[in-house]
Structure 1
Amino acid sequence: MIRCFLPILALLLASSIAASAADGETQVLKWKDGKKACFLLGFDDSAPSQLKNVVPELEKRKIVGTFYLVTGNGVWAGTKAKWEEAAKSPYIVVANHTFTHKGVENAEGVEPELAKCNEVLYALHPERKQPYLMAWGKPGGVPWIVSKDEMKAALERNHLIERPPFAGPPINYKTQEATLAVVDQALAKGEMGYLVFHGVGGDWLVTPVEWFTALLDKLEQHRDELWITDCASWKKYTSERDTAEVKVVESNKNHIRLSLTDKMDPALYDEPLTLSTKVPGNWKSCSVTQGQTKTTAAIHDGVAQYAAVPGASDIVLQP
């Protein structure tokens, strides 16, 4: 008798909890567009093979990559014009890999390595308002004698965010299967996965082209589940998400007004967050207005999903 009653009680309790969600109740979703996981592709050292074998594939497939460029050595001098052209693509995001890739012997050596590289990278996008956040990758195989606190301060002065620790083929992943498994692991955990490459089909620390195109094929197969983005956008989204606060300012059958704030500097952290808001049951779709931006959101199971920027104007939803 008791065993029969318990499942019924659980169902009633679940129904009661679902029904108790108030109109206007809002969540900041873990990943952009409600995707299951996130994935980053990175490319080090301005390797010429990236221009030949990587850039065209990313553009063809509309997949974004972060390119950690060294902008003060001979390799850069020989390919500068090609990188200037590549940087015009929305799928090619440039990042700082220091000016010379020679490392530093003390904290005083850090600033010129970061600042000189930034100067070249900023020149690739004169249309953008400076400063803005870019990713930074510490060069490997060279001395890097500077404390964590000194490094953190230098990165902050130069508006750079540190990428995750290096992980990529052929150093960390010795086979195509092991490389592709990184995507499966990100999806299984619902977390961020990433791979960093040097040469692809040539140059140094070479990943075979076949491995790389197989990886892109796999990412395309899971595009509906993955937010494939650049390192700076990932950092901005997660930093905003983790400090975000949503408040219901007003809620009735005609409109819902919300405020969205976070603890980040809005001049640098401007990535739209994806929100989901419970709306009245008779709403079939809704307009979402924030300042001068107005979009339409579909409604599924009484919930509207849309994008909004923390620290901007209030968000207004209307049927």
Structure 2
Amino acid sequence: MAHRLLRDREAEGWESAEFPIVCETCLGPNPYLRMTRAEFDKECKICTRPFTVFRWRPGQDARCKKTEICQTCARAKNVCQTCVLDLDYQVPVQVRDHALGEEATRLPQSEVNREYYVQNLEKSIASGEFDAQNKNRARPSELLSQLQRSGPMYHRNKAKICSFFVKGCCNRGSECPFRHELPQEVYKDESLAKQNIKDRYHGVNDPVAAKMISRARGMPSLLDFPEDVTICTMYVGGIPEGGLVSEQDLLDHFYAFGEVKAIRKSEAKRCAFVTLATRAMAEEAARSHAQTGLHVKGHKLRLMWGRPRKEGGGG
């Protein structure tokens, strides 16, 4: 990187950002966060260009975190600059691309071709062409809906366990940046030991993603037809607050599959139960949403079969 310090920063188009592109998990739960900013401090681990590095501590018991890749590379894959997971679904790039049926793309290997590729990418982002192309991407599949994280996972920010404390010989006391506690269980997955940020970013040879995809293949589909043929009700979850999706909106959407006998919506639980007239209509609705998921008025909702009523009036 030393030879690059002699270059013209503006001519090279080096990144100078005011705030990082990070996920909620990496940012942490504290709204009053102290963050340092170092301009052109490190090379991006993907495109190797100097970029602005941000450092912060997500919580009192968390380890310090910093951005690892530049914002151009982060926008290209829609990933967090720190953990390199997808910003929308909090899953590895390989899992997202597998669920959407997209092929993995790699940056050119040579420095000249790589910088040319990144410069064209920056122009595309600045002109808005890149965002316009991404709007036409395939809608999320049911597999992606099953694997996505429902909320931030702050436990990922915890400091590592102090190995010297485990051996009983740590003399740092309260100043030790690692956790002073004994591991609860000994579990080692050798396949997860070989991880690198480039494979995670490009979506290839990612052991974490491979494990998630393998586990998902054994998961039952939420829209598999239930054995009880009397079930004609679909459960709709994740309805946004504020009346953004009304009962009439749900009626208009499901009416395309046949007669809707009843709709019961709960504002408190942000869900609804849609009962169709026949089982065949309900199966057609489930079949139509199996690949693309349920989207009403631009909002992504969760769809699954309703459960049979319990004897004695339970719903």
TM-score category by the smaller chain? under 0.3
More strand by share: 1
State the TM-score, normalizing by the size of structure 1: 0.24
The structure whose Rg is larger is: 2
Answer 1 or 2: higher relative contact order, Cα 8 Å, separation at least 6. Answer: 1
State the TM-score, normalizing by the size of structure 2: 0.24
